[in-house]
Structure 1
Amino acid sequence: MPTVTETSDTPQTPAEMRRTVLYLTLAQVPEGCVISYGELAHLAGLGRAARWVGRTLSQLPDGTKLPWHRVLGAGGRISLPVGSASGDEQRARLRGEGVTIRNNRVDIQRHGWRPVEHSG
């Protein structure tokens, strides 16, 4: 299971480093806030890798402690299908954190994570 506190004496491959920086950035998204795949990639220093972020998060193991449910499509769109187990779980988790969902979208102006505002 991926964690953000793993340390190892062996050097990481470039692919492992990309995943690690993604996980470290994702772990900072606070409860009740959301971020888009593209913005998460940008903040992690991965450029325009929104699709890669989506694929990587879709491969997280069950039971991960990373807040994958806080990551949305562009414009606050929930990209997981209604009625799917993961989509229903994402919506339930977001609502449990006080995030309002209307027409399969989250109001980014209201719930979007702005790291500068949340840092110290």
Structure 2
Amino acid sequence: MKLFFALVHQDEGSAYGIQFPDVPGCFSAADELDDLSRNATEALALHLEGELVPEARSLSNIMADAEVAKELATGAFLVAVPFVMLTGRSQRVNVTMDAGLIDAIDTTAKDRGLTRSAYLADLARRDISG
């Protein structure tokens, strides 16, 4: 899993703008801080779908970038965004858990109209994206 850094800025009275210095043309927005990671993760995945994935610079290299430094000096901040390349194919895995936890997972998944696998995959995606 690669980590890309998103530059986040907000003009007074507007949503948070999200852009990726290492992925030109990839941007998103979020009305609330709590939505930043999820929106940035989704934008990154959609933008890079079927594309060559660019190299992700380290935090120190991103911060040394003159354009990024200029934005940071005016109040912007950086957020680490995980990039998980989805392949579109499923893979069977064997997972061991307490039987009571599996029962709770199955009940919750059923209540939400999901399979156990879909529920666990959704939880993993949300946890990874922050």
On whether the aligned pair clears a TM of 0.5, the verdict is no
Which structure dedicates a bigger proportion of its chain to strand?
A: 2
Larger radius of gyration: 2
| TM-score, structure 2 as length reference | 0.26
